[in-house]
Structure 1
Protein backbone atom coordinates (compact mmCIF):
# COMPACT_ATOMS: atom_id res chain seq x y z
CA UNK A 1 0.00 0.00 0.00
CA UNK A 2 2.93 2.33 0.52
CA UNK A 3 3.54 2.16 -3.21
CA UNK A 4 0.23 3.70 -4.23
CA UNK A 5 0.77 7.19 -2.72
CA UNK A 6 4.26 7.28 -4.24
CA UNK A 7 2.81 6.46 -7.66
CA UNK A 8 0.26 9.24 -7.23
CA UNK A 9 3.04 11.71 -6.39
CA UNK A 10 5.00 10.67 -9.47
CA UNK A 11 1.91 11.02 -11.63
CA UNK A 12 1.11 14.44 -10.15
CA UNK A 13 4.67 15.63 -10.79
CA UNK A 14 4.56 14.31 -14.37
CA UNK A 15 1.28 16.13 -15.03
CA UNK A 16 2.65 19.34 -13.51
CA UNK A 17 5.79 19.15 -15.68
CA UNK A 18 3.66 18.56 -18.79
CA UNK A 19 1.52 21.60 -18.00
CA UNK A 20 4.59 23.80 -17.47
CA UNK A 21 6.14 22.63 -20.75
CA UNK A 22 2.92 23.30 -22.68
CA UNK A 23 2.54 26.76 -21.14
CA UNK A 24 6.17 27.62 -21.91
CA UNK A 25 5.76 26.52 -25.52
CA UNK A 26 2.62 28.62 -25.93
CA UNK A 27 4.33 31.70 -24.50
CA UNK A 28 7.61 31.26 -26.37
CA UNK A 29 8.65 34.27 -28.48
CA UNK A 30 8.63 32.14 -31.62
CA UNK A 31 5.12 30.89 -31.02
CA UNK A 32 2.84 31.79 -33.88
CA UNK A 33 0.34 34.52 -33.20
CA UNK A 34 -3.36 33.68 -33.35
CA UNK A 35 -4.70 34.95 -36.64
CA UNK A 36 -7.55 37.35 -35.98
CA UNK A 37 -8.09 40.11 -38.52
CA UNK A 38 -10.13 42.04 -35.96
CA UNK A 39 -6.85 42.65 -34.11
CA UNK A 40 -6.01 45.04 -36.96
CA UNK A 41 -9.01 47.28 -36.28
CA UNK A 42 -6.72 50.13 -35.07
CA UNK A 43 -5.45 50.21 -38.68
CA UNK A 44 -8.87 50.71 -40.28
CA UNK A 45 -8.55 54.49 -40.57
CA UNK A 46 -5.17 54.18 -42.23
CA UNK A 47 -6.10 51.35 -44.60
CA UNK A 48 -9.61 52.46 -45.54
CA UNK A 49 -9.02 56.20 -45.24
CA UNK A 50 -5.84 58.12 -45.64
CA UNK A 51 -4.84 58.55 -41.98
CA UNK A 52 -1.35 57.84 -40.73
CA UNK A 53 -1.07 54.53 -38.89
CA UNK A 54 -1.02 54.85 -35.10
CA UNK A 55 1.51 53.18 -32.81
CA UNK A 56 -1.25 50.75 -31.81
CA UNK A 57 -1.86 49.94 -35.48
CA UNK A 58 1.83 49.23 -36.12
CA UNK A 59 2.11 47.11 -32.99
CA UNK A 60 -0.86 44.99 -34.03
CA UNK A 61 0.39 44.81 -37.62
CA UNK A 62 3.71 43.39 -36.39
CA UNK A 63 1.91 40.89 -34.17
CA UNK A 64 -0.28 39.76 -37.06
CA UNK A 65 2.55 39.66 -39.62
CA UNK A 66 2.63 35.82 -39.72
CA UNK A 67 -1.05 35.92 -40.73
CA UNK A 68 -0.83 38.40 -43.61
CA UNK A 69 -0.66 35.72 -46.33
CA UNK A 70 -3.74 34.08 -44.84
CA UNK A 71 -5.52 37.46 -44.98
CA UNK A 72 -4.28 38.09 -48.53
CA UNK A 73 -5.88 34.79 -49.64
CA UNK A 74 -9.19 35.54 -47.92
CA UNK A 75 -11.64 36.98 -50.50
CA UNK A 76 -13.15 39.25 -47.82
CA UNK A 77 -9.78 40.67 -46.68
CA UNK A 78 -7.47 40.58 -49.70
CA UNK A 79 -8.57 43.96 -51.02
CA UNK A 80 -7.31 45.57 -47.79
CA UNK A 81 -3.97 43.75 -47.70
CA UNK A 82 -3.30 44.38 -51.39
CA UNK A 83 -4.63 47.94 -51.56
CA UNK A 84 -2.28 50.89 -52.07
CA UNK A 85 -3.19 52.18 -48.57
CA UNK A 86 -2.65 48.72 -47.09
CA UNK A 87 0.84 48.65 -48.58
CA UNK A 88 1.50 52.20 -47.30
CA UNK A 89 0.55 51.11 -43.78
CA UNK A 90 2.83 48.09 -44.00
CA UNK A 91 5.71 50.30 -45.17
CA UNK A 92 5.06 52.93 -42.49
CA UNK A 93 5.01 50.22 -39.82
CA UNK A 94 8.18 48.60 -41.21
CA UNK A 95 6.37 45.35 -41.93
CA UNK A 96 7.36 43.73 -45.24
CA UNK A 97 4.65 43.26 -47.83
CA UNK A 98 3.95 39.53 -47.82
CA UNK A 99 5.02 37.53 -50.86
CA UNK A 100 2.57 34.66 -50.79
Structure 2
Protein backbone atom coordinates (compact mmCIF):
# COMPACT_ATOMS: atom_id res chain seq x y z
CA UNK A 1 0.00 0.00 0.00
CA UNK A 2 1.29 3.47 -0.82
CA UNK A 3 2.16 5.85 2.00
CA UNK A 4 -0.63 8.18 0.86
CA UNK A 5 -3.20 5.39 1.21
CA UNK A 6 -1.95 4.56 4.70
CA UNK A 7 -2.15 8.23 5.68
CA UNK A 8 -5.68 8.48 4.27
CA UNK A 9 -6.75 5.37 6.21
CA UNK A 10 -5.26 6.81 9.40
CA UNK A 11 -7.16 10.08 8.91
CA UNK A 12 -10.42 8.21 8.30
CA UNK A 13 -9.95 6.14 11.45
CA UNK A 14 -9.32 9.29 13.48
CA UNK A 15 -12.38 11.02 12.02
CA UNK A 16 -14.60 8.03 12.74
CA UNK A 17 -13.30 7.82 16.30
CA UNK A 18 -14.02 11.52 16.77
CA UNK A 19 -17.55 11.07 15.41
CA UNK A 20 -18.18 8.27 17.90
CA UNK A 21 -17.02 10.43 20.80
CA UNK A 22 -19.18 13.38 19.74
CA UNK A 23 -22.23 11.12 19.45
CA UNK A 24 -21.80 9.60 22.91
CA UNK A 25 -24.82 9.86 25.17
CA UNK A 26 -24.65 10.98 28.76
CA UNK A 27 -26.75 8.48 30.67
CA UNK A 28 -29.04 10.37 32.99
CA UNK A 29 -32.32 8.79 34.12
CA UNK A 30 -33.68 12.25 34.89
CA UNK A 31 -33.74 12.85 31.12
CA UNK A 32 -36.72 10.48 31.02
CA UNK A 33 -38.75 12.59 33.48
CA UNK A 34 -40.80 13.93 30.57
CA UNK A 35 -42.12 10.37 30.12
CA UNK A 36 -43.34 9.81 33.68
CA UNK A 37 -46.96 10.70 32.98
CA UNK A 38 -47.05 8.55 29.85
CA UNK A 39 -45.61 5.58 31.74
CA UNK A 40 -47.59 5.92 34.97
CA UNK A 41 -50.98 6.93 33.60
CA UNK A 42 -50.89 5.44 30.10
CA UNK A 43 -51.36 8.84 28.42
CA UNK A 44 -49.80 9.19 24.97
CA UNK A 45 -46.13 10.17 25.09
CA UNK A 46 -45.17 13.68 24.06
CA UNK A 47 -42.73 14.43 21.24
CA UNK A 48 -40.20 15.47 23.87
CA UNK A 49 -40.66 12.17 25.72
CA UNK A 50 -40.07 10.23 22.50
CA UNK A 51 -36.96 12.21 21.66
CA UNK A 52 -35.59 11.59 25.16
CA UNK A 53 -36.29 7.85 24.93
CA UNK A 54 -34.47 7.70 21.60
CA UNK A 55 -31.59 9.70 23.06
CA UNK A 56 -31.36 7.51 26.18
CA UNK A 57 -31.85 4.16 24.40
CA UNK A 58 -28.15 3.20 24.71
CA UNK A 59 -28.54 3.64 28.48
CA UNK A 60 -31.63 1.46 29.02
CA UNK A 61 -29.67 -1.72 29.77
CA UNK A 62 -27.68 0.19 32.37
CA UNK A 63 -30.92 1.45 33.92
CA UNK A 64 -32.32 -2.08 34.01
CA UNK A 65 -29.36 -3.15 36.16
CA UNK A 66 -30.27 -0.54 38.77
CA UNK A 67 -32.89 -1.98 41.18
CA UNK A 68 -34.38 1.49 41.78
CA UNK A 69 -34.88 2.14 38.08
CA UNK A 70 -35.65 -1.36 36.83
CA UNK A 71 -39.28 -1.39 37.99
CA UNK A 72 -39.87 1.91 36.19
CA UNK A 73 -37.97 1.18 32.97
CA UNK A 74 -39.09 -2.45 32.66
CA UNK A 75 -42.80 -1.85 33.26
CA UNK A 76 -45.30 -2.84 30.57
CA UNK A 77 -46.29 0.82 30.15
CA UNK A 78 -42.64 1.87 29.67
CA UNK A 79 -42.27 -0.75 26.96
CA UNK A 80 -45.51 0.46 25.36
CA UNK A 81 -44.30 4.07 25.42
CA UNK A 82 -40.99 3.06 23.84
CA UNK A 83 -42.86 1.12 21.16
CA UNK A 84 -45.23 4.05 20.51
CA UNK A 85 -42.17 6.27 20.10
CA UNK A 86 -40.69 3.86 17.57
CA UNK A 87 -37.83 2.86 19.84
CA UNK A 88 -37.48 -0.92 20.13
CA UNK A 89 -36.75 -2.02 23.66
CA UNK A 90 -33.19 -3.38 23.88
CA UNK A 91 -32.39 -7.00 24.61
CA UNK A 92 -29.87 -6.82 27.40
Q: Please, what TM-score do these two structures have when normalized by structure 1?
A: 0.69
Q: Which runs of 5+ in 2 are unaligned?
A: 1-14
> Is residue 69 of structure 2 the alignment partner of residue 77 of structure 1?
yes
Rg larger in 1 or in 2?
Answer: 1
Residue 95 of structure 1, aligned match among 62, 78, 87: 87
Question: Are residue 44 (structure 1) and residue 36 (structure 2) matched?
Answer: yes
Q: Distance in 2 between matches of 1:44 and 1:84?
A: 13
Hey, what's the Cα distance between the residues in 1 that align with 2:71 and 2:64?
8
Alpha-carbon RMSD? 1.7
Counterparts of 2:20 and 2:59 in 1: how far apart (Å)?
17
Three-state SS of the structure 2 residue aligned to 1:77 is helix
Structure 1: state its 5+ residue gaps. 1-20
Please identify which structure carries the higher helix content: 2
Structure 1 position 40, deviation (Å): 0.6
Aligned pair count? Answer: 76
Looking at structure 1, the residues matched to 90 and 28 of structure 2 have their Cα atoms a distance apart, in angstroms, of: 17
TM-score (ref. length: structure 2): 0.75
Q: Post-superposition, which runs of at least 4 consecutive aligned residues in structure 1 deviate over 2 A?
A: 24-28
